[in-house]
Structure 1
């Protein structure tokens, strides 16, 4: 799988999962910004850059 495809898959996974955690999202148009998603927690708006690896050692999700 190409790295761009893996990255897009990671972003889409994050976009699908974040609302389950009660987060509201906004998506920028294009891919020339230093972030992938804007996350509104209700108090703050965070710029998030999603990083994805192709073969994790164990299945997990890390938010930092």
Structure 2
């Protein structure tokens, strides 16, 4: 596993009607590569926000995604 992150992801908010990106849930979150980990987590977050996931479901989804990796 990784000992430290060397990369980051930047979250940018925009009005939904101005965004044409469709976020897909990543098949897994790579925990062995800093760059891919940040990309996968950012993609997962985009999917959660776009899908309108209930607040109570967010933590279990993250736990599941990280456990599967």
Structure 2 length-normalised TM: 0.34
- Give the helix-richer structure, 1 or 2: 2
- Give the strand-richer structure, 1 or 2: 1
Structure 1 length-normalised TM: 0.36
